[in-house]
Structure formats: structure tokens, C-alpha cells
Amino acid sequence: MKSVIHAWEIRGLINVSRQTKDTIKRLFRENYGSCRKAFQALQLRERTAYEFLGKSKSFTTLAKFFALTDGLGISREKVEIYIEKFRDRKRQRRSYCVNFPFTYSPLVLRSVAHIPGDGYVSKNGCTKWIQKEPRFMVMLLRKLLTTTQRPSGPQVTIPRFLVSVNCLKLQITPNELKSPRFIDAVMELPRRYRAQTLFALIVDEGNIDVKGNISIRMKKRDLVEAYAKLCDSLGYDRSHVIKIQNNGTFGRSYLWKFRIRAGGIRGLYGDYMDALATFGRVGGLWGKDQKFMERCQTALNRKATKDAEGREITKASLTLLSKHGELNVHEICNLLGSDSYDRIYDRIRYLRKRGKIKRVSYGRYALNQPF
């Protein structure tokens, strides 16, 4: 996957240093005789070009900037590295420090992966995220864009630059960020990108219970099913998607739900630890880190114990079948002195599926002897 975005691939306004502007003017005089003749030859609006090159704090659109440098025969790859500041639109006062070519990373995707949960996209393209504790989102945005942005209460505006970059890479529109189309596009990305998308969902919509299960509840069935498939792509054991009743403040409604089971926590834990090591706390589960680690240890310990028990039952069952020739599940239970019929039956089914044993008659099993 291409990991960079070039300045000419997106829209916005930029500024460069005073030195860079003076160099452009000097090259115009050397190549065209004067800046005015250059602007006329390139069919550029003189007033706009003079204002940008004459004032240190003046911004111009990317299209107009490259029109200037294209006219000098300078490659765009060479000139984009001199861009120092970026603005999403004309009336915006705040600018970002963006280094071009801009590197697309899992954290860049994370900035918009929260939109399906606690975010929204307005008709004019403004994208916001709302939560009681916005601290980690602010930390993420500052890490990505060196911005001094501060939340307005629990509300954080996601810079349009990041929205544009993500939409470009995923080949979707801003309005599709809250649709299954977004998840479908993420499914095509490497594992770390998919994991960050799921972490964002857990932060916004996940509930970590005492058994270590993580429940996901949302109103849109198609979106929940898309996230369930995302879990499958990561190998996380999960439940089926089901419809549940929600008795909320505004009356009865229905939600769609699935759980990442304790068995799936092992893979999730591995991706989580990898994210912390690679990206720091902004790549984790934010305010749910501590609860996740506590529940995770419970789930992992329980699964480790269950796996060990399963291996012992499997080994003992094979030994009994080797000794007695053929047995049914009740007989195996009696010989093992166990009343866990369902547990032992699961291991018998597993052994039969693996071809270790065979069913010789209704309910009776024997070793599957090789030829």
C-alpha cells in the first residue's frame, strides 16, 4: 500500500517561509524579466500572486502555489517539502504544521475511526467527535499535526486535512465515514490499521464485563455486522450479531450487539500490546486501558486453564480408547470420574474432526487406526 500523500493530491491553503517566497520571485525575474511578466505569461491573477509572495503571513491555495512553481519548471516532489503550514479553508485562523509528503499511518486512520461511534459529519463537511473525556483525542491530533487545538467542552473538531487524507486513501466520501463502506475499505489495509479501527470502536461503544468479554452495541445493524467481520479478519473469537431491547431515557428502542469472547481476547491483547509499543498510549484504549488490562488478565488466565484442562481430557480419552477398544461418552465420563459430559463430548467431537477417532456405531467411538 502506498504510504504517503503528496500535497497536490488534496485541497487546502498553504504557506511557505519568507526565504522560499523571495527565491520564487528571484527566479521569476531571472526567467521572465519580472514577476508581472511571469504572472501574465502563466495567466495568473497578479493581485493574488503578489499578495502571496509579498506578505509573510499570506496563504494561497495548493493549486495556485503549484501553478507558480510549475511555471518555473520545478518538480512538485522537490517543492512540496518547503510547505510549512496548512489550512483547511480560507476563513480558518488556526494552521497546522504538515510535512509533505505526508505519511499515512494507523494513527492517521485512528483520527477518523472514532466517527462511526461518537462522531458526526455535518452537511458542510465539518467533522466532530464528542465524549466526556476528549483528552486522548487532543493528544492524538497534536501528535499528528502539531496543532494547539483545544476541545470545546467534550467536543473536538477533527481537522478536515485528516478527513481528506483518509477519504483519499480509502476512496470514500466524508459522509461514508459512518457507514459500512468505511469498514469495508479498512478491511483492505494491513493489520495495525484494522486493529486501530477496532480500538476506536471499543473506546466509543465497547463495554468490558467482569468475565473479560467486550460487548459492542450500536443502532445500525449493517454497521455492527461490518465490525463483526472486521473482528473475523483479525481472528478474534466473537458471538453472533443479535438484536436486543434498549430501555433508554427516551423510551424503548432496539440495538444490535455482538461480543468479543474471552477466547478472542488473546489476539486482541497481542495487538493492543503491539500498539502501545509502536504508538504509545494514543494507540491504546485511552480511558479504558486499565479496565481492559484487569479484565484481560482474568480472561487469559481462565482460557489458559480451560485449554490445559482440554488437553488433559483429550490425552486421557485417547488412552482409554486405546485400552478399551470402543467407548461412548458416558463410559468415558465414568472411567474419568467426571460429570462434565458436555466438556468431554466437545473433546470427542474435536478428536473425530481431526481424524484421531471414528464413530463405529451410534454414540460409540474407537481409535482411527492408520492403514
Q: Is the dihedral of CA 343, 344, 349, 353 positive or negative?
A: positive
Which of 58, 75, 102 is the last residue in one of the domains? 102
Assess whether 248 and 110 both reside in one domain: yes
Residue range(s) defining the domain that contains residue 154: 104-274
Would 281 be classed as within a structural domain? no
Assess whether 159 and 85 both reside in one domain: no
Q: Determine the length of the chain.
A: 371
Dump pLDDT digits (tens) for 295-345.
877 776 766 556 667 778 888 888 888 888 889 988 888 888 888 788 888
To which H or E segment does residue 121 belong?
strand 119-121
Identify the residue with better confidence: 301 or 140.
140
Dump pLDDT digits (tens) for 205-258.
999 887 778 999 999 999 999 999 999 999 998 999 999 987 766 567 889 999
**Dihedral, CA of residue 14, residue 20, residue 26 and residue 28, to nearest 10:** -30
Q: Can you give the pLDDT at residue 165?
A: 95
Q: In this structure, how many other beta carbons lie within 10 angstroms of the beta carbon of residue 277?
A: 9
Which of 58, 82, 102 is the last residue in one of the domains? 102
Assess whether 260 and 174 both reside in one domain: yes
Assess whether 83 and 44 both reside in one domain: yes
Closest listed residue to residue 317, CA positions, set 301, 302, 300, 335: 335
CATH number of 313's domain = 1.10.10.10
Query: Mean pLDDT, to the nearest integer, of 134-149?
Result: 84
Assess whether 356 and 214 both reside in one domain: no
Structural domains in the chain (count): 3
Are the C-beta atoms of residues 262 and 304 closer than 8 Å to each other? no
Would 317 be classed as within a structural domain? yes
The C-alpha atoms of residue 69 and residue 57 are separated, in whole angstroms, by 19
Dump pLDDT digits (tens) for 246-294.
776 656 788 999 999 877 888 899 999 999 999 999 999 999 999 888 8
Would 299 be classed as within a structural domain? no
Predicted confidence band of residue 371 (pLDDT cuts 50, 70, 90):
very low
Assess whether 131 and 208 both reside in one domain: yes
Assess whether 182 and 267 both reside in one domain: yes
Would 288 be classed as within a structural domain? no
pTM: 0.79
Q: For residue 131, which phi and psi values (nearest 5 degrees)?
A: -155, 160
**Dihedral, CA of residue 209, residue 211, residue 212 and residue 218, to nearest 10:** -40
pLDDT at 92 over 90: no
The chain-wide mean pLDDT, for the chain, equals: 89
Q: Can you give the pLDDT at residue 91?
A: 79
CATH number of 211's domain = 3.10.28.10
Helix intervals (H) in the chain: 18-32, 35-41, 46-54, 62-70, 76-79, 106-113, 115-118, 135-145, 160-170, 180-186, 191-205, 221-234, 262-279, 289-324, 329-336, 341-353
Predicted confidence band of residue 111 (pLDDT cuts 50, 70, 90):
very high
Assess whether 121 and 98 both reside in one domain: no
